[in-house]
Amino acid sequence: MPAIAFCILCICFLNANAQRSSEFHVIAFYTAKNDAAHISFVHEANNWFPKIAAQYHFTYDATNDWSKLNLSFLSNYQVVLFLDTRPEAPEQREAFQKYMEAGGGWMGFHFAGFALTPSAYPQNWNWYHNQFLRSGSYVSNTWRPTSAILRVEEKNHPATKNLPLTFKSAPNEWYRWQNDLRKNPDIKILLAIDSTSFPLGTGPKQSEIWHSGYYPVVWTNIRYNMMYVNMGHNDIDYENKTNKQLSFTFGNEVQNKLIIDGLLWLGRNKKRLASATKKQEKYK
Residues 6+ apart with CB under 8 A from 233: 37, 38, 41, 110, 111, 145, 172, 173, 249
Tell whether 7 is covered by a domain.
no
Residues 6+ apart with CB under 8 A from 184: 134
pLDDT bin (cut points 50, 70, 90) of residue 272 is low
Closest CA to 213 of 275, 129, 141: 141
Tell whether 154 is covered by a domain.
yes
What number is the average pLDDT over the span 7-30? 62
Tell whether 86 is covered by a domain.
yes
pLDDT at 22: 84
Provide the CATH number for the domain around residue 30. Answer: 3.40.50.880
**Tally of structural domains, the chain:** 1
Tell whether 134 is covered by a domain.
yes
Q: pLDDT per residue over 31-74, tens digit each?
A: 999 899 999 999 999 999 999 999 999 999 999 999 999 999 99
pLDDT at 9 over 50: no
Q: How are the residues of the chain apportioned to helix, strand and coil, as percentages rounded to the nearest 5?
A: 40, 20, 40
Tell whether 6 is covered by a domain.
no
Q: pLDDT per residue over 184-202, tens digit each?
A: 999 999 999 999 999 999 9
The model carries a pTM of: 0.89
List Cα–Cα distances, 50 to 25, 47, 249, in angstroms.
11, 6, 16
Cβ proximity of 249 and 231 under 8 Å = yes
Tell whether 14 is covered by a domain.
no
Tell whether 118 is covered by a domain.
yes
Tell whether 15 is covered by a domain.
no
**Could you list the residue range(s) of the whole structural domain that residue 86 is in?**
23-283
Q: pLDDT per residue over 110-154, tens digit each?
A: 999 999 999 999 999 999 999 999 999 999 999 999 999 999 999
Ranked by mean pLDDT, the top range of 84-93, 233-242, 261-270 is: 84-93
